[in-house]
Structure 1
Amino acid sequence: MTGHFSLMTIILLFTSSALASEPLVYTGLLSNTALGGYDSVSYFESGQPAKGSAGHATEYNGATWRFANPENLARFKNDPQRYAPSYGGYCAWAVSQGYLAKGDPQHWAIRNGRLYLNVNKSVHDQWLADPEGFIRKANANWPGVLE
């Protein structure tokens, strides 16, 4: 019985630690779609978020990414690190404060060639007051805030 108890303890410890960490990409509850289904390339190419299509999708970092057209899908596949939002699409301001919050695809900015999302307009406005400072803080916290 002791051997059985030890095995169960080990299983519970591994399960608990696996449940304690958050996914690398924010997808929302009961979803595996990054950016709420928006096309991450569209922010860079047209300067506006566009809804993606399930017909133009790929997997990256454990999430499904959708694109408005095959050209944007190809751009993403060629350089996903360029087009994927910083901090996995979590709110950049929250990450700078040491915690996670959802990133809203409607509240965004591009700085130094990187896409950043915020949870809402109020937080986005606050983030815009010192984006470089918040980016420095968020970079120091990422990816540790996932644990």
Structure 2
Amino acid sequence: MGIFDFVKSVGTKLGFGDDEPKAEDLKKELDSHNLGTGDVQVTVQGDKAVLTGNVKDQSAFEKAIIAVGNSLGVSKVEASELKVDGSAEGAAPVFYTVKKGDNLWKIAEAQYGKGHGDKNPQIFEANKPMLTSPDKIYPGQVLRIPPLA
């Protein structure tokens, strides 16, 4: 399902120093969220992380991409070889890059339409466990935008 862009200069700092991200650090970060991504392999090509293997569902697929992509030093995540179990091809994920001044209410209104800011808990839930609080989002962070239930 292609290559996804991230902001290289923001995100979770992994390891020590300002070097390019290491595959083992990205894998450790991915596994720390308990997303069911044990069969996913991570390799690094410069500032691009490449995910291969299998995940259990579309949600795990999308969360794997943002868990790795929202790491400092990663500008792209390639997931063309990351497969969803029992599915030939999942739906195209919808991601949103947080801008200065954004909050989940504003993002919900922008993505779902005016008057749908109250749907912001769906965005928060779709980004757990990477998001621990709806108030802790930052510019440059990439969030999953789930379809409205």
TM-score category by the smaller chain?
Answer: under 0.3
Structure having the higher helix fraction is: 1
TM-score between the two structures when normalised by the length of structure 1: 0.25
Say which structure, 1 or 2, has more relative contact order (CA 8 Å, 6+ apart). 2
